[in-house]
Amino acid sequence: MRAEDGGGNREAKKPRRPAFAAIDLGTNNCRLLVASPTKTGGFRVVDSFSRIVRLGEGVARSGALSEDAMARTVAALKIIARRLKRHGPVPLRAIATEACRRAKNADALVARVEEEAGIRLEIVSEQEEARLAALGCAPLLGRDYDGALVFDIGGGSTEIIWLKRKAVTREIETVFAASLPLGVVVLHESGHDYDTLVRDAKAAVAEVARAMEKKAGAFPVATHHLLGTSGTVTTLAGVALKLPRYDRRRIDGSWHDRTRLMEIVDELVGLTVAQRAKMPCVGPNRAELMPAGCAVFSAIQAQWPCARLRVADRGLREGILRELMEHA
């Protein structure tokens, strides 16, 4: 209780809702999300942060994280550590993905982050990354569909997950998950032209499709939809919606016609880097990487040509938060 004011009234402090935090350190981005659970079973975001750190820059060539990349990453995580202090002690899970899985000196980064930022990083497997992405995106599976193909085009890898509703209970289950070494940073650094990137991506995606069919059966395009998450897909959605600036509230959960998005892909890859950089929802940070992401997107939609695609500005962090809240 607060001390009495001049009028003799007492004002009770409202109890602070518990907060939970998730950090996703990818090959290209470092992201934070802090949220509190709601009475309806969802959560309300109370803080967020995102910075492009390009942690995986050069890893495909050298097999190691560069000093510059680690410095950028530690600097971003120090900012995150300061932001977390505002919320007091909160349950936190901080994960690192493909760049750290590949790098022979990833342990050095983990030790440095713990020492300088006070954050304990966990390098997760491909399977765990796919599981968390599916958990984060599952709420956006369309009610009128039997399932969806979730794909997350990251900086160092692409996760493919088949989510399906059970026939009787309509509960959502994961029937197949795979991770491909197709990331926008890795593909961009390969130096290949767009047509070559598309050809290589189609070959890799076709291999996953064969494995999927062998394990779970043929993917039913007619009764399922695509559910895409990542900078590539959210950028395409922003362009499709003709937004003057990126707006997560309008993009997350938006529905799009697959053929229209492919028209936008053709338009974007036909522009120069400078021209893409001037586009409101692309900007200078994504201008270079968009052709690589578009190549993977093209391969996925060619393999599984569902008529409709839903876009998610959510994924790993939301999956982490949902799990932390359930465990609490």
Residue 9 has pLDDT above 60, yes or no: no
Structure tokens at 207: 């291999």
The structural domains of the chain, ordered by start, are: 20-124 (3.30.420.40), 140-317 (3.30.420.150)
Residue 1 has pLDDT above 90, yes or no: no
pLDDT at position 140: 95
pLDDT at position 60: 87
pLDDT at position 18: 85
Facing residues of 162 across strands?
149, 176
Q: Which of 3-17, 82-96, 106-120, 265-279 has the lowest mean pLDDT?
A: 3-17
The Cα–Cα gap between 119 and 80 comes to 9
Helix (H) or strand (E) holding 311: strand 308-312
- As a whole number, mean pLDDT of residues 37-49 equals 88
pLDDT at position 170: 83
pLDDT at position 42: 82
Contact 28, 286 (CB under 8 A): no
- As a whole number, mean pLDDT of residues 177-198 equals 93
Mean of the per-residue pLDDT values for the chain? 92
Give the contacts of 162 (CB within 8 A, at least 6 positions apart).
Answer: 147, 148, 149, 150, 174, 175, 176, 177, 212, 216, 219
Residue 12 has pLDDT above 60, yes or no: no
Give the tens place of pLDDT for each residue, 85-144. 999 999 999 999 999 999 999 999 999 999 999 999 999 999 999 899 999 999 999 999
Residue 157 has pLDDT above 50, yes or no: yes
Give the tens place of pLDDT for each residue, 206-249. 999 999 999 999 999 999 999 999 899 999 999 999 999 999 89
The Cα–Cα gap between 299 and 180 comes to 12
Length of the chain (residues): 328
Strands 43-52 and 29-37: antiparallel
| Cα 81 to chain centroid, rounded | 21
Q: pLDDT tier at 16 (50, 70, 90 boundaries)?
A: low
Helix (H) or strand (E) holding 93: strand 92-96
Share of the chain above pLDDT 90, in %: 84
pLDDT at position 4: 37
pTM: 0.86
Residue 7 has pLDDT above 60, yes or no: no
pLDDT at position 168: 79
The Cα–Cα gap between 36 and 18 comes to 6
Contact 221, 308 (CB under 8 A): no
Rounded to 5, what percent of the chain is helix, strand, coil? Answer: 45, 20, 35
CA separation (Å) from 163 to 39, 128, 170, 307? Answer: 26, 15, 11, 17
Give the contacts of 293 (CB within 8 A, at least 6 positions apart).
Answer: 153, 184, 230, 231, 232, 233, 235
Residue 68 has pLDDT above 60, yes or no: yes
